[in-house]
Amino acid sequence: MTSNIQHDTARRRFETEVDGVTGYLEYSLQGDALSIDHTIVPSEIGGRGIAGDLVKAALEHARAQNLKVIPACSYSDAYMRRHPEYEALRKAN
């Protein structure tokens, strides 16, 4: 896991810098749910599991805050399906 993930609450994002390049996950709050809107990892730092680490950080945050999760971006949706331990966080339609 990328150890230097920061939670920027003012900008509603989780971010990390690797080799001088920033990857990030943007979210919004919708009532009692955290919507994962975008997961962005530039190609210069891709293929290192950074996107997964960012999604995991957001999911752990949601769990700690008793929030449900809306995986609006396709990557976060796929991540939750691959990691059934987070499926209970998924907000029902």
Spatial separation of the C-alpha atoms in residues 51 and 39, rounded to whole Å: 6
Answer whether residue 1 is part of any domain.
no
R_g of the chain, CA atoms, integer Å: 12
What is 29-53 written as a DSSP string?
EETTEEEEEEEE--GGGTTSSHHHH
Q: Does the predicted TM-score (pTM) go above 0.85?
A: yes
Q: Does the residue 53 lie in any domain?
A: yes
Asked whether residue 62 is assigned to any structural domain, the reply reads: yes
- Residue range(s) defining the domain that contains residue 34: 6-89
Domain-embedded: residue 77: yes
For the stretch 28-61, pLDDT in tens is 999 999 999 999 999 999 999 999 999 999 999 9
- Total structural domains within the chain: 1
Reference 41, options 31, 53, 32; nearest CA is 53
Q: Residue 1's pLDDT is what?
A: 57
Q: Is residue 22 part of a domain?
A: yes
